[in-house]
Structure 1
């Protein structure tokens, strides 16, 4: 059976739109669903979940707000609250920004155990995003966790490692080969050696960088198909300022993040839904 390819629209960068306007925008572009951080207010959360379902769209819940909690105890409590809120919506899964790169191995492991227990309790899968400043912020930070946790599920946003490692990871393929079997979701954003987002991935000066990301995504999609996955999920995730670069003095954005996400949607459909 061929795996179903599902491509999600990021809510990130669209908070200025009403719920109805954003869902209309998503449908017009042709996405299969929405990836978003859900409101903690139960009524507002349920309104979003209902509207997304009524539109015939799928949902990936996201939590990134633990970035605001540096003290370990506060971070752990926030992670618990935010993951439970996301799982309560019964999404396809929850994508989480977990831990800190300055927490100890034992502390980050405690947070991963917490996520495992919430996933088991709710029946909703949880994937941990590869992201700067988190427990997975650099390939060598992540390796010890993979060695101890053979079933650790990841969201591959490799643009962050390009930035963290100041390269296109040309000399780390042996490491990536250990990571790819753990990937359950892809954030399809194109990063480069000096930042997590090129200004326009279609520009000829970024052709080599784009091709490298595509090769990684190809390998992950092939791995998921070989593993017999029923669905393969991807989210184009070009973000707003400061991810989107601006001109000096005027702060005018040089590209439109939503337009880039729609363009990436087209690239992914053409490549993986042949």
Structure 2
């Protein structure tokens, strides 16, 4: 299977845009990190602000530096975790409005709680949609453990209730929750790929959200499985008429990154793992 960054999918050019996460590289001087992203051939940065209920001057300075470097940025929301539904809806609205005011490409949101009722999570999704309409900034909901979208069969029910729901497909979480590579769920996945407008291209497996090293031969079949999903998602973007598709290469640091016992050394290099996956997606995998 071959796919390049400007491969024509059934006659339509789909440009793949690659973003690097700041996650795992927070210890670097930010100017150094920006140059690392540029040297790595990335189009932009996906960034969380670790924010409370306000934007700080340091957040705005970060955004200014990204844009001055000619890079795009995705704003990430994950901070809203309270267990009271009324408070949750107030806090997520405030945070999303603040992030939207910075004019990101879109907001990637870890939305809802897995223990909220179906109706309560739907009401949160509706708050997000209202903010998106009011601000003109798209909000994509990440498929993530602990959120409304923690499992494929559960997310399917939300898509039936809100058919236009836009997802960020981080399929590693669904594998981890199911304890499988979802081999018996192909029909369900194929139906949901049309709602995925962004991916986190991290390779998980049946027992965890991140393989220890995507270059290792023992993970070849797993990597192929994820690539096949991602290419189907790109083809669905073509079917929607999209001309570009954003990808965040999101192999992460510990605890996602397995560590050697006692020494606590990472089992692979996070940056190199992300560059490897970026290369596979851009050039194709045989």
- Could you say which TM-score interval applies, normalised by the shorter chain? over 0.9
Q: Give deviations 1:59-106, integer Å, cap 9, x for gaps.
A: 111111124x23323322321122112211111110000001100011
8 Å CA contact 2:227, 2:281 repeated in 1:
no
Task: Output aligned runs, 1:1-274, within 5 Å.
Answer: 1-38=12-49, 40-67=54-81, 69-271=82-284
Q: Distance in 1 between matches of 2:235 and 2:191?
A: 14
Q: Whose RCO is larger (CA < 8 A, sep 6+)?
A: 2
* Deviation, structure 1 residue 48: 1.5
Q: Tell me, which stretches of 5 or more residues in structure 2 are unaligned?
A: 1-11
8 Å CA contact 2:167, 2:196 repeated in 1:
yes
Q: Tell me, which stretches of 5 or more residues in structure 1 are unaligned?
A: none
8 Å CA contact 2:106, 2:138 repeated in 1:
yes
8 Å CA contact 2:55, 2:98 repeated in 1:
no
Q: Distance in 1 between matches of 2:270 and 2:90?
A: 32
Partner SS state of residue 284, structure 2: helix
Query: TM (normalized to structure 2)?
Result: 0.91
Residue in structure 1 matched with residue 3 of structure 2 by the alignment: none
Q: Give deviations 1:178-214, integer Å, cap 9, x for gaps.
A: 2101000011000000000001111100001000000
Query: TM (normalized to structure 1)?
Result: 0.95
Partner SS state of residue 65, structure 1: coil
